[in-house]
Amino acid sequence: MAAPTVTVARSTGRAPTALGGVGRVVEHHWRWYRRNWRATAVSSILQPLLFLLAFGVGFGALVGSGPQAAAATGGVPYLVWLAPALLAMSAAQSAAFDSTYPILSGFKWQRIYLAMSAGPITGAQVGLGVLAWTGMKMFWSGAVYVVVIAIFGGVQGPGIIVSLLAALLTGLAVASLITAFAATVENEGNAFSALFRFVVIPMTLFSGTFFPVDRLPEWVQPVVWISPLWHGTEVARGAALGTWQLLPTLGHLAVLVGLLVVGSVLVARLFTRRLAT
């Protein structure tokens, strides 16, 4: 056939910048959120509320204010002592949920990551955009949580705002590592349930959220040190109660930032690999 002379349509597509590509992925999720925020808002308020009622109010009454409790909490009411740690725990938990099945769905079920990377943005931009969105959603869920805690009388001062930021950093570090892991999961299988059973739940229980970790046997302590949630909890609680010390705090922050950097690099690499086969 002889190709007829045709005016080929001019494509208007441009490749967004590196940051612009990440921003487009965030915008996509924001579109989704605008449609579905009610469902997520209910769970992001309900879950903290249940934890506050069960542990802060119910269990807190049991803890009481005797000398033993005061020695553990530094003399503040149990709810006040618990609240900043709950912020960090809730961030880490929602990070774990948002970074498992939704990620696998983006690759395998809905395959929207494939659609995104068929355009001018790269696999790395898709991954980092997803991570950035997880962080944004985590931030405002945390802000709502702060308000709920304040209503229950668990807020002592403005330091809780710093706790919120520490919780965000903790959640992002956890999200980056789990998102990277999820990018390697091919099938639903047992990978995620094993992750929750052997990593997320132990981390939730033994990171100093509900009781100080020095109450644990000595041989367990090194295990606690590798938990990002413990580092985050220490910073969040120190900020809320004003009990933090410079060097340990810097150490905790360095661990969290280090994990986030490693996690982000892995996310960028593994998304690139998975989307280009």
Partner 1 sequence: MVIAARPVGVSGYGLVVSDALVQARGLRKSFGAFEAVRGIDVDVAPGEVFGFLGPNGAGKSSTMRMIACVSPRSAGTLSVLGMDPGSDGPRIRARIGVVPQLDNLDAELSVRENLEIYGRYFGLPRRHVREKATELLEFAQLTERAGDTVEELSGGMKRRLTIARSLVNDPELLLLDEPTTGLDPQARHLLWDRLYRLKREGVTQIVTTHYMDEAEQLCDRLVVMDGGVIAAEGAPAELIGRYSTREVLELRFDPEHRPSAAALERHADRVEELPDRFLLYTSDGERTQGDVVGAGFVPLSSLVRRSSLEDVFLRLTGRTLVD
Which residues lie near partner 1 (CB under 8 A)?
Answer: 1, 3-16, 20-21, 24, 27-28, 31-32, 35-36, 110-112, 114-122, 275-277
**Whole-number Å distance between alpha carbons of 208 and 85:** 8
Residues 154, 57 contacting (CB under 8 angstroms): no
Q: How many CB atoms lie within 10 A of CB 22?
A: 22
Q: Of 143, 147, 197, 211, whose CA–CA distance to 171 is shortest?
A: 143
User: Whole-number minimum distance, CB 22 to partner 1, in Å?
Assistant: 11
User: Whole-number minimum distance, CB 136 to partner 1, in Å?
Assistant: 17
Looking at the Cβ atoms of 10 and 215, the one nearer to partner 1 is 10
Looking at the Cβ atoms of 6 and 247, the one nearer to partner 1 is 6
Looking at the Cβ atoms of 125 and 170, the one nearer to partner 1 is 125
**Whole-number Å distance between alpha carbons of 123 and 267:** 9
User: Whole-number minimum distance, CB 177 to partner 1, in Å?
Assistant: 26
Look-up of token digits 């308000």: 147
User: Whole-number minimum distance, CB 189 to partner 1, in Å?
Assistant: 21
Looking at the Cβ atoms of 15 and 50, the one nearer to partner 1 is 15
Pull the structure tokens for residue 205: 């229980």
User: Whole-number minimum distance, CB 72 to partner 1, in Å?
Assistant: 46
Looking at the Cβ atoms of 12 and 190, the one nearer to partner 1 is 12
Q: Which amino acid is at 16?
A: P
User: Whole-number minimum distance, CB 180 to partner 1, in Å?
Assistant: 20
Looking at the Cβ atoms of 188 and 214, the one nearer to partner 1 is 188
Pull the structure tokens for residue 264: 């982000």
Q: How many CB atoms lie within 10 A of CB 253?
A: 16
Counting beta carbons within 10 angstroms of the beta carbon of residue 155, is it exposed (0 to 12), middle (13 to 18) or buried (19 or more)?
buried
